[in-house]
Structure 1
């Protein structure tokens, strides 16, 4: 959040990265998602 005003899209990129990691964990443990 410290970089929010300095770098446009910083928060969005952070959330998308976390989403990718979460999807990888779901796949690893065999959970299906849409």
Structure 2
């Protein structure tokens, strides 16, 4: 039960980092264009 909960947190955290990094890259690309 506890390990399953930790895995869920890890997946959520990894997903958050992935979303953040991609949005950060997109933001930088937008700045380059303008």
Gap regions ≥5 residues in structure 1 = none
Gap regions ≥5 residues in structure 2 = none
| Deviations, residues 1-34 of structure 1 (Å, cap 9, x unaligned) | xxx7372411000000110000000000008xxx
Select the structure that is richer in helix: 2
Q: Which has the larger radius of gyration?
A: 2
